[in-house]
Structure 1
Amino acid sequence: MTDTTSQSRSPLAMFFSLGFRPFFLGAALWAVAVMALWLAQMFDVLALPIGFDPVSWHAHAFLFGYLSAVIAGFLLTAVPNWTGRAALSGAPLIALFLLWILGRLAVLTAMRWPAALVIALDLAFLAAVLIWLLREIIAGQNWRNLIVVAMLLAFLVGNAVFHFEAAGGEYAAQGVGLRIGISAAVMMVAVIGGRIVPAFTRNWLVKQGSAVLPAPVMAGFDKIALLALLVAMISWLVAPYMALTGGLLLLAGCLHLLRLGRWAGRLTLAEPLVVILHLGYAFVPLGAVAIGLGILGFGNGAAAQHLWMAGALGVMTLAVMTRASLGHSGRALISDPVTVGIYAAIVISVFFRWLAGNWPEQQGILHAVSGASWVIAFGGFALSYGAMMIRPRADQS
């Protein structure tokens, strides 16, 4: 006989009990699939029925496919804590997850469907998350986080512009839509990461009895650094090759390096679960500086862009996924050897992807090493953390 309690603890019920469970696992599996398909295309093993050119599809599949799932998983889990309202679960969460899958399949097989249908299906997911987020923020009167609504709206607009650029025959991988999406996503890392990195660092250092703690969150310097990054991003959107843009990015990068230095990351080397947060955030200023230098004629700006995409977005999201999965499944916030290996693999992937853009003679093997490391990182997450997604909290089982 199955009672209500046991039904609520069935694997399917647990999987759709909180947003991080389906979306973090789905994002990891999609990250593996996208990289495998991208490498297969690169080495002429197969051709996909996609509506974009291969490079544009690769960029879109990561930025607006993978990242949208991670953003959704994070918000669906964090917003209830912000607002004190009930989390989305059960049938509504299933419907939202299926909508994300439908968007991925539509873009992956875009040549078989009308362009308008593909665009509508892909945009519908982010639009649904945005509407839910706005409703929750208003209902909970959580006005502090309206900025997250604005950033998510910008991210959705970037996706729409990307689609319309591609439909118009433009090279969307270097278009305005991609820059809007990257800018919105990096700003999310700067704003939300600027809250959680010092907060989690402080928590860990307090437990260690450290007398040195991170600087207060969102103090005056933080606001100046965020404003500088926002101005630099806007300049990058409208004038990506102007010297002024390069200078603004260099300034923003230096300010955010200083911001990161105020969070006492050097004292957390004993716990990779905290260190990886600092490393993920470090790619925000590193990317800004590298892209700024590229605009000014020093280095490859296109390759530097991967310090934001694979670095700031890839590393930071994996860091948040591992930590949130442990914490929200009732497990100790301690990294095991597999988790450390996952972190090492993603950092190796970023380095070799950046190197591939700066060493064209060897880019084939460098892309392969980067891609394999990426698959190891996200495949490792799916294998190691996947079981947590279908089980009750460890502290309640």
Structure 2
Amino acid sequence: MRSPPILSEALRLFFPLAALHGAVWPFLWIVIGSYVLPFADAVPPSQWHAHEMIFGTYAMALAGFLGSAVPEWTDTKAASGRTLLVLAGLWLPGRLIGFAGADAWSLPAGLFDLTFLLALSALIGTAMLARRTVKHLAFLIWLLLFTAAEAAVRYAWWSGDTDRASRCLEAALCIFIVLFSLSATRINVVVLNLALDPTGETTPYRPHPGRQHMAGAMVTLYMAAKLFFPQSDVCAWLALAAGAAFFDRLAEWFIGRAAFKAEVLLLGFGNAFAGAGFLALGATRLGFSVTPAAGLHLLSVGALGCAVMAVFIIAGLRHTGRSLAHMPWQAHAAAGLMVMAGLIRVLPEFDVAAILSPYHHGLSAIVWALSFGVWLQGFLPFMRAPGTDEAGACG
């Protein structure tokens, strides 16, 4: 029996699941539950929230991207049907336990999450092995490090060391920022060239080799320093260097009027949020009156929110046989709402738009949920309908 279109490749199933989780969970936590988790005890609710955003919404989005992109890059058969359902089944228990903040069930939830991430690693590793290629090995290595960060967080919670858990969660966030940087390196070339020439007949944009991996390298150094030397001021200077590298990378978006197209602008905002986030983390450590939460939310809500929504829109259209030149209104609305959610969340923490405080948490959660909800409303029919991938859909 032939699988329905939504089970034909990873992103068709996993992107809607990630969007549904991203829309519903934070909305219920913040707007209805006021950050209170009914079964959280030893683990702070803030850490549960961070964990579920990173290893829930973002991890499933990553699974959709890698599960479709790596087979495309290696010219191998993409996972489909029952395999995708098994992966989704491994991901779901952790989300149900995380929604309630059930400390007592954290270890079983962690086992499901680790199995999910290891199964995803095996899936993309098998595709690389089949072609005897190491060209995309960096994605597999960082995915395995992401898996190790999940194990470290669960162990720290189990041992009652919430300080270590906090550092491991920040490390997981940094790992995801590196994965965003690696993905943008590939996606930008396709997206910027199509923005400049929608026919695809020419490729006027060429990336600067020096910019492609500098931001990821600096984030890696910052993450290592923060894990092993958390009291050192070196962390601050490395954070500033990472921020500067992301801002230097903004030069990739200097392509004239085409830079104002939604798909290009959203990737640029993700990069800018990342740069501002690391600068804020460095400034906090050097004594400026900026809370650590400001930098972390610039990264988690701003940078990764924009990056994930950009991938949802770009890959969601191209992998269903649709052109970026004819975006549905939901793509523009979802992009704008995601940028707005990031700004609402962080601006009051810099004493800008202070009128929003203390309501900016709930307002940002509502706008964030609307962004994913609008994307779902517009793109779920595409995911469920037959369609032919465009050539080079994921770069």
User: Which of 365, 386, 392 is the matching residue for 2:386?
Assistant: 392
- What CA deviation, in whole Å up to 9, does each residue of 1:171-196 have, x standing for no partner? 36962220221111011111221221
Among residues 108, 111, 119, which one is paired with 1:120 in the alignment? 111
Match of 2:167 among 163, 173, 176: 176
8 Å Cα contact 1:201/1:264 also seen in 2: no
Query: 1:337: how far off?
Result: 2.6
Q: Which amino acid aligns with 1:308?
A: L
Partner of 1:48: 38
User: What's the offset of the Cα at 1:203?
Assistant: 2.7
Alignment of 1:226-245 (within 5 A): 226-245=216-235
Q: Does 1:150 align with 2:141?
A: yes
- CA contact 2:97–2:106 (8 Å) conserved in 1: no
Residues 1:341 and 2:314 aligned together: no
Is residue 2:378 matched to residue 1:378? no
Instruction: Please tell me whether the aligned partners of residues 238 and 282 of structure 2 are also in contact (alpha carbons under 8 angstroms).
Output: yes
Identity of aligned pairs, percent?
A: 27
Give 1:365's aligned amino acid.
Y
Q: Displacement, 1:240?
A: 4.0
* Further displaced range: 220-229 or 384-393: 220-229
Moved more, 111-120 or 241-250: 111-120
Residues 305-333 of structure 1 show CA distances to partners (whole Å, capped at 9, x for unaligned) of 11111112111011101111111111121
In 1: Cα distance, 2:9 partner to 2:202 partner: 36
Q: Can you list the C-alpha shifts for 1:362-394, whole angstroms capped at 9, x where unaligned?
A: 643111110110011011111111111111117
Read off the aligned partner of 1:33 and give its amino acid letter: V
C-alpha spacing 1:39/1:58, structure 2 compared with 1 (3 Å): same
Cα displacement string for residues 229-258 of structure 1 (whole angstroms, at most 9, x for unaligned residues):
322232233334532211122122212211
1:295 aligns with 2:289: no
Deviates more, 1:359-368 or 1:98-107: 359-368
Aligned to 1:366: 360
Note the C-alpha offset of 1:159.
1.1
Partner of 1:92: 83
**Correspondence list, 1:210-359, <5 A:** 213-216=204-207, 219-298=209-288, 299-333=290-324, 334-358=326-350
Deviation per CA, 1:110-168: give whole Å up to 9, x if none.
Answer: 63865432221222111111122222212222201111111111111111111122222
Q: SS state of the match for residue 77, structure 1?
A: helix
Contact kept, 8 Å, 1:228 with 1:252, in 2: the verdict is yes
Amino acid in structure 1 at the alignment position of 2:359: I
What's 1:201 paired with?
192
Does the 8 A contact of 2:107 with 2:154 survive in 1?
no
How many residue pairs are counted as aligned between the two chains? 385
Q: Could you tell me the TM-score, scaled by structure 1's length?
A: 0.88
Q: TM-score, normalised by structure 2?
A: 0.89
Instruction: State the distance in 1 between where 2:327 and 2:147 align.
Output: 34
* Root mean square deviation of aligned Cα: 2.7
Q: Is the 8 A contact 1:83 1:141 kept in 2?
A: no
Residues 261-309 of structure 1 deviation map (CA, whole Å, 9 limit, x = unaligned): 1343543244212221222222222211121111112222221111111
**Contact 1:22–1:73, Cα closer than 8 Å, also in 2:** yes
Rounded to whole Å, the distance in 1 between the matches of 2:329 and 2:383 is 20
CA–CA distance in structure 1, aligned partners of residues 389 and 239 of structure 2: 45
Q: Deviations over 1:332-373 (max 9, x none)?
A: 213333221111111111111113444599643111110110
Is the partner of 1:262 in helix, strand or coil? helix
Q: Equivalent residue for 2:393?
A: none
Query: Which residue is 2:7 aligned to?
Result: 16
Which residue identity does 2:370 align to in structure 1?
A: I
Q: 2:99 aligns with which of 103, 108, 131?
A: 108
Q: 2:48–2:101: 8 Å Cα contact kept in structure 1? A: no
Q: Of 70, 81, 84, which residue of structure 1 is paired with 2:61?
A: 70
> Which amino acid letter does the alignment assign opposite residue 66 of structure 1?
T
Superposed CA offset, 1:66-102 (max 9, x none): 1110000001110111111100001111111121112
Consecutive unaligned residues in structure 2, runs of 5 or more: 391-395
